[in-house]
Structure 1
């Protein structure tokens, strides 16, 4: 069986916790190289992936790309577009962590570079494989809700004091802040389910004194399909709302709590450890119905491994990439419009 050598560029939270374990669990991929300037992270990479090539700069990697079939850009947001283009110039297909770029125009430049090079390009919108999202898609496709009228979706945390990471204390102009961190997921899910947005409204706030970028946001979308999406993202929510409330003409779907895959990855698990992956216990299933008739709905298992399985198929079998980068550009256009709305423009 053909095996793809994958270079993980950046070995912070995204690279070490999300990308590398999912790549290593994919039978047609291996973690062949890691780029990190941190000696501590380099040692962890060598321990986790014996035989991995570790370099401290992307220039060193791209100067000698032998044995590398795919580059994964898992660096701070402000570097995504430039590094993706560098990887493409080196002859490598690319996966870019979300957000794809800082602006839609930057994203279009990366797409143009991939098309000119004839190389595959995708964006890691892993929340398309969340348990609740997959369950909702199943219910919609089965007609269980009737005509969907309103989609309410939240990623909320209670973190009254920031952890000091660049995502929280960096500048919004560098891609820090909750709008780009969690809004990238929420908007992508809404557009993926209900189509293009024709109206965007946003409230954007910075609540904590030590934080320079937004940490509390609300977006309202009106989709061309007529569905209205209300999306909340916050680091300062002392009482968490439902993860999703979806209202249709026949019934509604309500679910609380987050997909279990992130916690599993943060705990050091891998999808190939022989234990059930992405499953939700029955007591945490969502419910479907009306005030007079409500019943629990079995949750689909979350499936982050599907992203890299589909990426392997794209490179080895000429299948479509798992996420069309043009979708990510559309998400960036909404986020840019959201920021303009919040500024009163």
Structure 2
């Protein structure tokens, strides 16, 4: 099996939870280098990886094929550009960069150097997202007319993460963080909208970055898709509500991979590794072929973030399609930028 050597730009929460465990367990990858500015926390679980004190030092000295840029979003442009100029393929965490112009420059640079640039959109591999994708593909809802996708939390106090809470920093706030997932899901399901209207602000107060948003996407054929997130949501909602002319589907957000990984779960290669779902987590209510109403309680199949890295590996070795390529995610960033402008101006914006 061809071995792909990878360098990790940081060993904080994302490195420990979303990247390192999968790179270690996938037989096609070797985690060759990890950047830790002052500590050596990675040595215990990843003793074969060389520790570097800066991204620049790693790029100059490490034997690596792929760089994972998992640092705060405000540093993404600098580090992705450095990696591409050093001749490395790049995986960068969402939301890619803080602006569309930065993202476009990086995509052009990658293309000019014949390198790949993929954005880590891991929520495409959540069990709940995959279930919605399946239901839409089955066509039981008929012509879809109204959709709501939510990602809520109950975090009424500010976190200690400056890059997420400081309202003066470009790229901070919920619309770049959770919003990048919701926008990505909307565009994966329904494509790029024609217009949008948005309301974006901070429920914790004007001294903090936005922690609430509501984005209304206008599509052709009178489809409306509403994306919403709040940090003042103690009681869970259905994360997905999809209504068509033949029925409705309601889906809870039940993927637990992040929590299991944080608690120390070890993902396995080639099979499902998460805890099985004990209860139903969705409701499908529709007219069947006999025009009779069927109401079905549904259960999701396991999601698996390993599949992202499997697709990366297959792209490198076999030339298969690259998951969430940079050019594709630029479209999502255009929606985020337009949402901020719409909220500021209080008006519907035409995206064409």
- TM above 0.5, yes or no, is yes
2: distance between equivalents of 1:32 and 1:266?
23
Match of 2:71 among 75, 93, 103: 75
Structure 2's unaligned 5+ residue stretches are: 288-292, 347-352
Residue 5 of structure 1: how far off its partner (Å): 1.1
Residue 204 of structure 1: how far off its partner (Å): 0.9
Counting only pairs closer than 5 Å after superposition, residues 136-285 of structure 1 correspond to structure 2 as 136-171=132-167, 173-209=169-205, 212-224=208-220, 226-272=222-268, 276-278=272-274, 280-285=276-281
1:159 to 1:227, Cα distance in 2 relative to 1, 3 A:
same
State the partner residue of 1:8.
8
2: distance between equivalents of 1:274 and 1:138?
21
Taking structure 2 as the reference length, the TM-score comes to 0.92
2: distance between equivalents of 1:303 and 1:190?
20
Structure 1's unaligned 5+ residue stretches are: none
1:277 to 1:226, Cα distance in 2 relative to 1, 3 A:
farther
Residue 172 of structure 1: how far off its partner (Å): 5.3
2: distance between equivalents of 1:218 and 1:71?
34
Residue 25 of structure 1: how far off its partner (Å): 2.2
Counting only pairs closer than 5 Å after superposition, residues 19-34 of structure 1 correspond to structure 2 as 19-34=19-34
Q: Is the 8 A contact 1:242 1:256 kept in 2?
A: yes
1:152 to 1:193, Cα distance in 2 relative to 1, 3 A:
same
State the partner residue of 1:49.
46
Residue 168 of structure 1: how far off its partner (Å): 3.8
1:276 to 1:321, Cα distance in 2 relative to 1, 3 A:
closer
2: distance between equivalents of 1:275 and 1:138?
20
State the partner residue of 2:290.
none
CA RMSD of aligned residues (A): 2.0
Taking structure 1 as the reference length, the TM-score comes to 0.93
1: distance between equivalents of 2:6 and 2:343?
40
Residue 273 of structure 1: how far off its partner (Å): 8.3
2: distance between equivalents of 1:226 and 1:27?
47
1:168 to 1:103, Cα distance in 2 relative to 1, 3 A:
closer
Q: Is the 8 A contact 2:26 2:269 kept in 1?
A: no
* Greater mean deviation of Cα atoms: 180-189 or 299-308: 299-308
State the partner residue of 1:38.
38
1: distance between equivalents of 2:178 and 2:155?
14
The secondary structure found in structure 2 opposite 1:204 is strand
* Greater mean deviation of Cα atoms: 201-210 or 263-272: 201-210
Residue 328 of structure 1: how far off its partner (Å): 0.9
1: distance between equivalents of 2:118 and 2:23?
15
Q: Is the 8 A contact 1:120 1:314 kept in 2?
A: no
2: distance between equivalents of 1:25 and 1:129?
17
Residue 210 of structure 1: how far off its partner (Å): 8.4
Task: Give a deviation string over 1:10-35, Cα, whole Å, max 9, x none.
Answer: 12122221111122222211221111
Q: Is the 8 A contact 1:260 1:280 kept in 2?
A: no
* Greater mean deviation of Cα atoms: 12-21 or 51-60: 12-21
2: distance between equivalents of 1:280 and 1:190?
27
* Greater mean deviation of Cα atoms: 273-282 or 289-298: 273-282
* Greater mean deviation of Cα atoms: 317-326 or 265-274: 265-274
Q: Is the 8 A contact 2:279 2:299 kept in 1?
A: no
State the partner residue of 1:17.
17
State the partner residue of 2:57.
60
2: distance between equivalents of 1:273 and 1:307?
12
